[in-house]
Amino acid sequence: MKNVKLFLPLVPILLLIFSIPLYADEIGKGVKVTFLGHSAFKIVSPKDVVIYIDPYLSKNPKTPAEMKNVEKADLILVTHGHMDHMGDTLAIAEKTNAKIVVIPELGKYLNKKGAKNVAGMNKGGTLTSHGIAITMVHALHSSSVTEGDQDIYAGDPAGFIIRFESSCHLEISNE
Ligand SMILES: [Zn+2]
């Protein structure tokens, strides 16, 4: 949402518990992170679980062309409903049957749009899927889905703490 961008810089913060370089391919303990532009990331866990964060890819001018087509995804984590974060979530989930992890209100919206594998969760909760523990945490931002001139309520924005099989932790806070 352009008007939001004017007031809140879109700064993806990738805070690693271990002192590992930002945007490195291999961040440690077998976790691979690929920055896909804007706030989108692909993460591959030590046991090859493929996680997309805020997959704004097809219309993202900063996503490398070879990364726009997603063949495999197990989990999609979406921080909030703005299109430059929710992006291709529905299309990727339909193609791969990836589980979409979101706050419940955004989950309801995605269900209405045809998503079948949505795990709604709330802040403070932890969901474990594919051996990956995902905790939803608070984030300071706004969240809605814009359709035409309508802004549809999409719950609170959220961040995530991801705990991988190798005990590596990653905190995501995309605004
Ligand atoms: Zn936003």
Each as own residue / partner, the long-range contacts of residues 87-93 (CB below 8 Å, 24 or more positions apart, any chain) are 87/40, 87/54, 87/55, 87/56, 87/57, 87/58, 87/59, 87/60, 88/55, 88/56, 88/57, 88/58, 89/55, 89/115, 90/114, 90/115, 91/58, 92/52, 92/55, 93/117
CB 83 within 8 A of CB 106: no
Question: Which top CATH class is 2-173?
Answer: alpha beta
- For 54-84, write each residue's pLDDT tens digit: 999 999 999 999 999 999 999 999 999 999 9
- For 32-60, write each residue's pLDDT tens digit: 999 999 999 999 999 999 999 999 999 99
Q: Residue 14: which pLDDT band, with cuts at 50, 70 and 90?
A: very low
**pLDDT of res. 21:** 38
CB 50 within 8 A of CB 67: no
Distance from Cα 29 to the centre of ligand 1, integer Å: 31
Query: Around ion ligand 1, which residues have CB less than 5 A away?
Result: 82
Which residue in the block uniquely carries the two structure tokens 């805070």? 15
Section 26-33 average pLDDT: 80
* Helices 89-96 and 104-112, packing angle to 10 deg: 70
Distance from Cα 69 to the centre of ligand 1, integer Å: 23
Percent of the chain at pLDDT > 70 equals 84
What residue ranges do the domains of the chain occupy?
A: 2-173
